[in-house]
């Protein structure tokens, strides 16, 4: 997880949400960070055997990500197509 410096007036708000397994396929962790003088942001960490990364997303960016993930779920559930087209 990224370092949060002591002089930063930010704090976690809400629960830490986890998806995935640490060793096998990777792990995604998300949580809300807020400060008294700025809009809250959603922080997303992704890690796997190859490495790790993280992003701080504004609320509109978070909604965009959720919409994209929802679209992928719709495609996967409704299309009956594999990764190389209809089977």
Rounded Cα distance, 59 and 42, in Å: 7
Residue 33 tokens read as 């960070």
Collapsing DSSP to helix, strand or coil, 79 comes out as helix
Per-residue pLDDT tens digits for 26-70 = 889 898 888 777 788 999 999 888 888 999 999 999 999 999 999
Residue 8's CB: how many other CB atoms inside 10 A?
Answer: 10
pLDDT value of residue 4: 47
pTM over 0.85, yes/no: no
Better-scored residue on pLDDT, 5 or 59: 59
Rounded Cα distance, 81 and 1, in Å: 36
């Amino acid at each position: 997880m990224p370092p949060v410096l002591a002089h930063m007036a930010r704090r976690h708000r809400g629960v830490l949400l986890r998806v995935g397994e640490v060793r096998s396929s990777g792990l995604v962790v998300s949580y809300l960070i807020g400060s008294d003088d700025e809009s809250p942001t959603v922080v997303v960490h992704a890690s796997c055997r190859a490495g790790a990364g993280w992003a701080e997303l504004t609320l509109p960016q978070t909604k965009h990500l959720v919409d994209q993930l929802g679209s992928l779920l719709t495609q996967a559930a409704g299309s009956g197509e594999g990764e190389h087209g209809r089977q």
